[in-house]
Chains A and B, each alone.
Chain A
Amino acid sequence: MSTEVPKVLIVDDANHYVEVAHQFLRGYRYATRCSLPGPCWTCPKFGHCSLTHAHDLGEVNQALALHPDIDVVLLDVVFELPRERLVPSGEVDLEKRRRLQGLAILAELRKTHPTLPVILMTSQEELAYEDAAAALSVDEYVTLAGADAFDARSLGLLVERLLARRVVGPDPGPYHWGKSLCMARLRRDSQVLARTSLPILLLGESGTGKTALAEKVIHGASGRKGAFLSVDLAALPSTLVAAELFGTSRGAFSGATDRPGRFERADGGTLLLDEIGNLPMDVQRTLLLVMESGRVTRLGESSARPVDVRLVAATNADLASAVRAGTFRADLHSRLNPAARLLVPALRERIDDLPELMSALLARGFAAGPNATLLADYRKAAGLAASSAPQLSTGRPAAASDGVTFSVAATSMRDLRAHAWPGNVRELDHLVTTAAVFALSDALSGLAAGRAHPATAGMLPISAKLIRELVASLGVRAASARSGAGAMSIAVEPAATLHALSRHIEAQVFRRAYEEVGGDFEALAQRFLQGDPAANARRVRLRFNQLGLRVGRAPRAKK
């Protein structure tokens, strides 16, 4: 972006927008196709010149070549141009091409200027009948002028908002946005809110990635130098919450030591209070005071310490209902800025992102730890040189490469799309990793037995049967959780990431069940998986090892 007055390029087949801009938006510079110094309204030819803006794609390119420092493009949508001046297209309906020419120009513009902010001078209503609005909404650098297309003040605000967003710079962290409309909105809103000092309320089902959003995006984009800390309030005994958040001084209670709380430790950074709905009422009042004063008092102390903490609260509960029920303070709810809440969609609401998410989870799941070791073992056994992240191919056989590519059949993708995913991305993460581990294990067995053909090295199909079994087991687990059957008590401790937390929980489930069945993997398989226990025992054992558990540590249960 240029550092001077923002420069605007207007693209319109007529003079409607340029006249408005030149009359009412004189605080900007304009990218003309003329070599004379501006502004246009001081030129003797003003009102009788066609070089003021671009009328078609050719002139857009001409203006872009003359002005590499363009900040914003104002783009009309309907272009009443002769056929030869329209962007080439396979569409035979000339009228339709004209009415959507702005979108065709936008598509061409994106090839050369993928992040250049564009304001489309139209509204959702005007585009709706062409079903083009959704396609536009995934482009976060495009905004619609809507009913205010000719309102110079509103247009000026839109320009400023786009420019402010551009100052944010590139995506601050590895967060998998996908291409769905709801995620495009979340991306746009979270990046804007991240740069404010307001508290942020994240709403979404469990497993949707609220913590990752808070850490990778909100904290990442905030520019704050301090640490990102997360506290799961559902995992803390209510009697310990205040001490954990605000700290303690020696003698505050029996055994208390001088210890900073999470607020102090997050000073200069971001603090995520996960499951804020679980905050005890007495602590809610203290939290409100901290938020209002910017000062925290350790338990047992009388003097407050200043803290500079960006607060993010997350919940999957209906806080408004909790306020009505009297279990959540209305003033704290208001202070959490519910009007600017961010809704993190459930996986089923962004199911089209499934392939992209699976690829990302696969790469992450095999980046380190036992999974990475297993992958390295396979690469070595298969004679593969490349050490790049494993790839995922969906719906068609994997193409040969010198890396590892897992392939999921089209029928499996249909099964996965049909699943409700109550555990959301976290549930998908487990499924993808487990399926890939089994596929790797099968491939290693094949290599060891000398049955693998060299031409198929690196191509690892994940069988449709396996996917069906895993999806079915997810359903069983959900039903089991609902009915309480097979319930066991799990110790939950805050972890660095949700992935680490879920792995910790899974390891406990395996360890407990392993102890209960006396180390019998067939019995364990019977408990965890549908189908033949003898066949499944190997898979369960593999996962057991992958979780870092060791055979023989558990005493055999009495028969």
Chain B
Amino acid sequence: MLASRLAHDVGKYMARTAHNVAADKWTPTLAAMLCRDLFELRGGRASAVFETLARPIESLSGPQEGLVRARAHLAELDALEGHLRASDAGALARAAVLALAVEDGLRKLARDLGKGSP
């Protein structure tokens, strides 16, 4: 259940804008939307919401490779924040890739842990 919630509350929402923008089509409006996805989710930054939901999963199910990978991606995204807010084209393209990777990974984790798991 927690894994499903993680996929929904973090993965789904942080990939919202990334799903729709080709690598070279970023505008300031879209960059602002992406920043809201990554740093202004309900509950705070995506990385913070992730930690809140991921820790109980790790304490119940042990270390999960999917969580480790997602944490690394989120850390990289946090490091890119300044460049993203400045609409840096390279950073935006990289952030979109990372956001989609986190979403994919968390959905896969939710499927793997399955119904009845934490």
Contact = CB atoms under 8 A, between A and B. Distances in A.
Interface of A: 14, 16, 19-20, 23-24, 78, 80, 99, 122-123, 125-126, 128-129, 147-153
Contacts of A20: 16-17, 20
Classify the secondary structure of B's interface with A: helix
A152 B12 CA distance: 14
B33 interface: yes
B4 A126 contact: yes
25 contacts: A20-B20, A23-B29, A23-B30, A23-B33, A78-B9, A80-B42, A122-B8, A123-B107, A125-B4, A125-B7, A125-B111, A126-B7, A126-B8, A128-B4, A129-B1, A147-B103, A147-B107, A150-B12, A150-B15, A150-B16, A150-B20, A151-B20, A152-B19, A152-B20, A153-B20
Given A126-B8, A128-B4, A129-B1, A24 B115 contact: no
Interface residues of B, number: 23
A129 B8 CA distance: 12
Contact of B8 (A19, A78, A151, A152): A78
B25 to A, nearest CB: 11
A319 to B, nearest CB: 33
Contacts of A16: 13, 16
Contacts of A148: 19
Interface in B66-111: 103, 107, 110-111
A400 to B, nearest CB: 46
A391 to B, nearest CB: 40
Contacts of B115: 128-129
Nearest to B8: A126
Contacts, number: 49
Given A19-B33, A23-B29, A128-B4, 19 more contacts: A16-B16, A20-B17, A23-B33, A80-B42, A99-B5, A125-B7, A125-B107, A126-B7, A126-B8, A128-B115, A129-B115, A129-B116, A147-B103, A147-B107, A148-B19, A149-B12, A150-B17, A150-B20, A153-B20
Contacts of B29: 23
B107 A151 contact: no
Interface in B32-75: 33, 42
Contacts of A122: 8
Cβ-closest 6 pairs across A and B: A150-B16, A151-B19, A129-B1, A150-B19, A126-B8, A152-B20
A147 B19 CA distance: 10
A16 B16 CA distance: 8
Nearest to A123: B107
Most buried by B among A80, A125, A152: A125
A14 B7 CA distance: 18
Contacts of B1: 129
Contacts of A149: 12
A153 to B, nearest CB: 8
A292 B116 CA distance: 52
A14 B37 CA distance: 12
Contacts of B8: 78, 122, 126
A129 B3 CA distance: 10
B111 A24 contact: no
A301 to B, nearest CB: 59
B16 to A, nearest CB: 4
A99 B19 CA distance: 23
B60 to A, nearest CB: 14
Nearest to B117: A129
B50 to A, nearest CB: 16
Contacts of B4: 125-126, 128-129
A147 B107 CA distance: 9
A148 B19 CA distance: 8
